[in-house]
């Protein structure tokens, strides 16, 4: 095997001669971290405290935006699984003016940050995986419909923030996923064509983001709330988890 420095940058693309993958754009919740183990208890406690209700009543409020009590998780492609913080706020606190909505965003991001960090569960050891991708001469980015503050906080807490070339959130692009804006933003930041980027995520809107942004590959993982039947037909490749990603990229 040639030393890392001598390897050609990027990974050969299977869809066209001469095409390469030079960047990987990850979703966060359900792809890098355990979405249900992190967010179900956070939202349950927040709703109990903010509305003065019981955990059962909080679960019923969550069920209106995608919580499934039978699985204690979020239904695929629901607001809780794929939406933005602002969408949740508009649903749970309808009628707020802009200042009021921004205060709720701040509350979730800042006031509940200690609870979020205490519950944050990576789906696998992330540093070795990200370092392996960097050694393959790939740019690495994050694209989440979470807020920028929350995304930065999570990556920093997990000790992986410095391994990302760009962190893109719902409030740092004109239109969040699945508009394609995050693919285009990442491409511009790292100097790639959208077709040189692989989007990796656990929900249908991640695959739609790839298509709408012109990404070269849409790669689904089954570690979130979407089952094989929910997402595989939207993806170029479907993996059990991101642990299989380096081998896939090398194989193509």
Q: What is the pLDDT of residue 16?
A: 46
Q: What is the pLDDT of residue 19?
A: 64
H-type alpha helices, 64-215: 79-82, 85-92, 98-106, 113-119, 126-135, 148-158, 181-190, 204-213
Q: What are the structure tokens assigned to 201, written together?
A: 């995520």
Nearest of 140, 190, 132 to residue 4 by alpha carbon: 132
221: three-class secondary structure by DSSP? strand
Rounded-to-integer distance, Cα 250 and Cα 252, Å: 6
Rounded-to-integer distance, Cα 207 and Cα 217, Å: 9
Weakly modelled stretches of the chain, pLDDT under 50: 1-17
Nearest of 6, 66, 3 to residue 36 by alpha carbon: 66
Q: What is the pLDDT of residue 55?
A: 97
H-type alpha helices, 140-233: 148-158, 181-190, 204-213, 228-231
Q: What Rg value do the Cα atoms of the chain yield, rounded? A: 18
Calculate helix-pair angle for 55-63, 35-51, nearest 10 degrees. Answer: 120
Range 123-137 burial, b when 16+ CB lie within 10 A, else e: beebeebbeebbebe
For 23, the enclosing helix (H) or strand (E) is strand 23-26
pLDDT in tens, 89-113: 999 999 999 999 999 999 999 999 9
Q: What is the pLDDT of residue 73?
A: 93
């Amino acid at each position: 095997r040639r030393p890392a420095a001598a390897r050609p940058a990027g990974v050969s693309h299977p869809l066209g001669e001469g095409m390469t993958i030079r960047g990987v754009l990850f979703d966060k919740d359900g792809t890098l971290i355990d979405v249900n183990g992190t967010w179900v208890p956070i939202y349950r406690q927040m709703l109990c405290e903010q509305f003065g209700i019981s955990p059962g009543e909080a679960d019923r409020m969550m069920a209106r935006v995608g919580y499934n009590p039978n699985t204690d998780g979020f239904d695929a492609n629901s607001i809780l699984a794929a939406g933005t913080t602002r969408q949740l706020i508009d649903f749970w606190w309808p009628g707020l003016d802009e200042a009021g909505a921004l205060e709720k965003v701040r509350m979730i991001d800042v006031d509940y940050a200690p609870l979020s960090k205490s519950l944050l569960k990576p789906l696998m050891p992330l540093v070795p995986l990200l370092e392996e991708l960097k050694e393959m001469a790939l740019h690495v980015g994050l694209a989440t419909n979470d807020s920028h503050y929350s995304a930065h906080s999570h990556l920093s807490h997990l000790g992986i923030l410095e391994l990302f070339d760009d962190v893109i959130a719902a409030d740092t692009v004109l239109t969040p996923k699945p508009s394609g804006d995050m693919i285009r933003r990442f491409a511009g930041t790292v100097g790639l064509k959208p077709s040189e980027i692989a989007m990796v995520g656990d929900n249908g809107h991640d695959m739609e983001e790839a298509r709408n942004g012109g990404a070269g590959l849409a790669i689904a993982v089954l570690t979130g709330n979407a089952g094989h039947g929910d997402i595989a037909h939207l993806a170029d490749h479907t993996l059990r988890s991101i642990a299989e990603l380096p081998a896939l990229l090398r194989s193509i």
